[in-house]
Amino acid sequence: MSRENPVLLYACDDVDTEDWLAGLRRALPLADIRVWPEAGALEEIECAFVWRHPAGLLGRLPALRAVFSLGAGVEHILRDPSMPPDVPLVRMVDPGLVAGMNEYVLWAALHHHRQMPRYEAQQSQPHWAQWVPPLPQQRRVGILGLGQLGGTCATTLSGLGFDVAGWSRTYRRLAQVKTYAGPDELPSLLARTEILVCLLPLTAQTENLLDAHRLAMLPRGASLINVARGRHVVDADLIAALDAGHLESATLDVFREEPLPASHPFWTHPKIRLTPHISALTQIETAAQTLAENVRRLYAGEPMIGLVDRRRGY
Ligand code: NDP
Ligand code: OXD
């Protein structure tokens, strides 16, 4: 069954409503797009576009046919007990998001590879000393998660000559990237990694993955880049590993609580560089095109791009 003027609900916190609406209206000119909380009759809503929506909202939409996340992560939707079990959930697959993450991880990896944290510390003293960096092929990068984001970053870094390995739930094949899979192979990946990038989805299996035990498996002097979710890392364990000198530095873009509270020790830690969850922001122009294509596919009964496997949690 095709449908040209579906009723859509936009329910988001923390994003620019006006820009999103303009982009969605351009991409879906015939749709009746309603903005929470002034959404009219809730029983008419067929699709929900959400990002940090109020918990309980989805259970109030009896005609709901699909839920679309405006970001790549969907744990915020799966946490809502009112999300109906049989309604398809679709994550954001956006070329603009992939490009942004690729840039950020490249920047952060080069920052650690070229020992910039050391030079920043020297500048604050001030102190003049030069350190010869290893060649890229001598620098071992490890990427947790080899999906649309991690896989792209792995390919970019290996293209620059870095010795890249990646870890996923099932085996992935990537040219010039050594791949590991499953919990049993995680220690081998960590043991060979000098720059660790976390690009996993947040699930029951990955929450608190980077705790004291796993951080200790990294070689002394390693660095961490966390661009996935704050709950992948045990904050106190990361600080202890940095303070003990086991880890040299960390670049963090995501946190257990966002915005990161002003009193959190990450803000002032000399070995931590942080950014406010900006490593990859959904680009409205490209994302709205994907959403429009998915809405078309939904009503045409075709497979949607980025359909989440509810049992796996991503
Ligand atoms: P994908 O679903 O494309 O890829 C996920 C990868 O993680 C897959 O390779 C998957 O393995 C692997 N994985 C999942 N569970 C496990 C596990 N238990 N053990 C080992 N590997 C596992 O996701 P994306 O690449 O699109 O996004 C990843 C995450 O990045 C998002 O979920 C989100 O949290 C975060 N993100 C952060 C942003 C930011 O601005 N900071 C922006 C966008 C996303 P397999 O290949 O076997 O399925
Ligand atoms: C996302 C994010 O999941 O912005 O897209 O973190």
Q: How confident is the model at residue 6 (pLDDT cuts 50, 70, 90)?
A: confident
Q: Which ligand gives the minimal distance to the CA of 99? A: 1
Quick one: average pLDDT of 112-121?
97
DSSP designation for 295: H
Alpha helices, H only, the chain: 17-27, 75-78, 95-113, 116-124, 148-159, 182-191, 212-215, 235-243, 284-300
Q: Which of 199, 203, 210, 290 to mutate to test the pocket of ligand 1 (most atoms within 8 A of CB)?
A: 199
Q: Assess whether pLDDT exceeds 60 at residue 270.
A: yes
Would the CB of 287 count as within 6 Å of ligand 1? no
Tokens 């946490």, residue located: 79
Rounded CA-CA distance 66/253 in Å is 30
Q: Assess whether pLDDT exceeds 90 at residue 3.
A: no
Q: Assess whether pLDDT exceeds 80 at residue 123.
A: yes
> What pLDDT, on the 0 to 100 scale, is given for residue 143?
98
Kindly state the percentage of the chain with pLDDT values over 70: 99
Q: Assess whether pLDDT exceeds 60 at residue 1.
A: no
pTM for the whole thing?
0.96
Q: Which residues are catalytic?
A: 229, 277
Would the CB of 147 count as within 6 Å of ligand 2? no
Quick one: average pLDDT of 192-214?
98
> What pLDDT, on the 0 to 100 scale, is given for residue 2?
58
Would the CB of 71 count as within 6 Å of ligand 2? yes
Q: pLDDT tens digits for 208-247? A: 999 999 999 999 999 999 999 999 999 999 999 999 999 9
